[in-house]
Structure 1
């Protein structure tokens, strides 16, 4: 008999380009055009200087480390992340953009190894290598059997939600959008005659209303609807009132989960109308190991989110988070002390929204709300 609940896995930004790509079997060219770093392999060396030798070439599943065990244990109905890189060996870096990410299409096994169901693409790195890079990204994910949302070869394609069938009927539906305040260039917006991302033009009431109309248009018969949003800056805990309004209104329009990302560290979680809002899931995987400058936010720590939703109503039943640490460009379970640090910090930023974070006996975090 089907369960009365559905559990979905949500991850923040997954950045498998640059240094991560370089440790895999078939990396793209390491050439970079950044102000300080010209070779992507230097990011591997920074990580090794901080943590020790990293196997090269690493196998496809290496980077997922102990998260793979957690995913296997829980067996979520859908695995959803924001893929913040282009997948291409072609093209030129976007003119004037200070940081550009890409991973080789030959390394797509890195994504399939985690059995990802949906990669959202409405972010500020998917077109880092231009239209040809976007084309390669879309084709590579399609060949790999990974659904995508938030980018396409035209506006209709970019706006098309991903659908993941659930056992027992109904789909997990993922609609992905990006906001300019996350650093997405306005030129990246998809149009009828050009590919690009599903970019919300602004956060005015009119634009939010149009997005809400799209949410209402999604078939609701047995579906769970996730609206995935790339918004806001990389660092800091401030959640602007415009983000709160956007999140509340899409939930009132029928969304069951607001999956927010862009920040490099976890931000507050709210429950509105019985539905969770993640104002920033934080990076799940990156190549920042060994880079200094934001130690107060502990960018080496990450969270994997497991949201259990009522099958009939879509309301949140429970939220459990697995604390992780990026070590040697690989995800491992965080120590008890690190889990406690994450719980305390996230609890403080959640208090504004009437939610609390508790550290369980098994060193996982859980959300409490009234």
Structure 2
């Protein structure tokens, strides 16, 4: 007598797409407003982001409805209408933990979080309280809960040191505790890491230490930002580390390397990490376009 073999249904695949630094101030805003299209910086890559189950990036400029937008300098402020590109691309979650998060003071942090929430975009890495900055964001897709945490190095342009407790810093013991806490609410944890040396094509040892510590703590993906150039990625234990995805939307025209970014793409089947790749991006007058080749593993 023969019995049919038991079939175990395969978990549905979930595709996550990670972008690099998005800065919506200075020349990015000027060009967009000259085009009369605040969504234009992300228009060309929007279909690819929108097709992902979860789309993530680092938001390098706070939104604010106060003051004027600077056309130059290192203090960033994005006009509220510039959120149109994030909406068009279907960005689901951003890290707001970076060295420009306090450029518009406490109001900028509060306004950014409220503006993102109003437009259906989750945020990780900052909050109105210290606990909120470390709580992370959880999104569920295809029956799997994905949690996001964001961290930045401790140099925030010298702006508003009184706001330190609203930003999650790159501290390994705290990160370990945050990952453990988030794993009580999420099946898979992704950590964003704003760290490294600007324009360095290889990761700094501190990047490697923090990223691998995050995987050791239970995260499955680490996404790096801040160097403004692409750095290598690696499989480490049961996770993936993108040390730097470089720029996605930025106005750094001085180097060829800052006008070439990358997207990180991973595919999960339930809790299992199935595939990962890095997709090159070319940036033309602040507008990213996906290049032809991709490197996968």
Both proteins in one fold, TM over 0.5: yes
- Equivalents in 2 of 1:128, 1:179: separation in Å? 15
Q: Would you say the 8 A contact 2:105–2:160 is kept in 1?
A: no
- Return the alpha-carbon distance in structure 2 between the equivalents of residues 153 and 277 of structure 1: 29
Q: Give the stretch that moved more between structures: 180-189 or 245-254.
A: 180-189
User: What does 1:286-305 correspond to in 2, within 5 Å?
Assistant: 286-288=250-252, 291-292=253-254, 294-295=255-256, 298-305=257-264
1:165 to 2:94 alignment: no
Match of 1:81 among 43, 53, 57: 57
Q: Distance in 2 between matches of 1:182 and 1:134?
A: 13
| Structure 1 unaligned regions, length at least 5 | 26-54, 201-206, 335-362
* Matched residues, number: 288
Q: Distance in 1 between matches of 2:67 and 2:110?
A: 10
Q: C-alpha separation between the residues in 2 aligned to 1:20 and 1:165?
A: 32
Q: How far is 1:56 from its partner?
A: 2.1
Partners of 1:261 and 1:301 in 2: CA distance: 14
- Shift in Å at residue 231 of structure 1? 0.6
Q: TM-score, normalised by structure 1?
A: 0.71
Query: What secondary structure sits across from 2:209 in the alignment?
Result: helix
In structure 2, stretches of 5+ residues that fail to align are 1-8
CA separation in 2, counterparts of 1:238 and 1:322?
18
Paired with 1:59 and 1:151, the residues of 2 have a C-alpha distance of 25
The DSSP-based 3-state class of the residue aligned with 2:57 is strand
Give the secondary-structure state (helix, strand or coil) at the position aligned to 1:229. Answer: strand
Q: How many angstroms apart in 2 are the aligned matches of 1:183 and 1:237?
A: 23
Counterpart of 1:10 in structure 2 is 18
Per the alignment, residue 6 of structure 2 pairs with: none
8 Å CA contact 2:29–2:38 kept in 1: the answer is no
For the 8 Å contact 2:190–2:220, the answer to whether it is kept is yes
Q: Deviations over 1:69-123 (max 9, x none)?
A: 3234xx2221110000010131589xxxx51111111332222111111011010
Distance (Å, rounded) in 2 between the aligned partners of 1:76 and 1:92: 34
> Measured at CA, do residues 129 and 135 of structure 1 come closer, stay the same or move farther in structure 2, by a change above 3 Å?
same
Match of 1:102, SS state, is: coil
- Structure 2 counterpart of 1:241, from 183, 201, 205: 205
Per the alignment, in what secondary structure is the counterpart of residue 107 of structure 2? helix
Alignment of 1:61-210 (within 5 A): 62-72=40-50, 75-90=51-66, 99-167=74-142, 169-180=143-154, 187=161, 190-191=164-165, 196-200=166-170, 207-210=171-174
Give the superposed CA RMSD.
2.6
The Cα shift of 1:171 comes to: 1.2
Helix, strand or coil at the partner of 2:230: coil
Asked if the contact 1:10/1:306 (under 8 Å) is kept, the reply is: yes
Could you say which residue in structure 2 is the equivalent of 1:344? none
TM-score normalized with structure 2 length: 0.87
Task: Between 15-24 and 170-179, report the one with greater CA deviation.
Answer: 15-24
Q: Distance in 1 between matches of 2:201 and 2:162?
A: 27
Matched, 1:281 2:260: no
Structure 1 pair 21–165 and aligned structure 2 pair: CA distance change class (3 A): same
Which digits, 9 at most, give the CA deviation of each residue in 1:140-179, with x for residues without a partner? 1111111001111111121121111112x23111011111
Distance 2:217 2:261 in 1: 30
Quick one: structure 1 residues 185 and 227, their matched pair in 2 at CA, closer, same or farther if it must change by over 3 Å? Answer: farther
Q: Equivalent residues in 2 for 1:207-356 (5 A)?
A: 207-219=171-183, 223-288=187-252, 291-292=253-254, 294-295=255-256, 298-313=257-272, 315=273, 317-334=274-291
CA contact 2:21–2:248 (8 Å) conserved in 1: yes
In 1, distance between residues paired with 2:163 and 2:121?
22
For residues 271 and 19 of structure 1, what CA distance do their matches in structure 2 show? 36
- Whether the 8 Å CA contact 1:81–1:119 is kept in 2: the answer is yes
- Tell me, yes or no, if the aligned pair for 1:116 and 1:146 is still in contact at 8 Å: yes
* CA spacing shift, 1:151–1:210, aligned 2, 3 Å: closer
Matched, 1:56 2:27: no
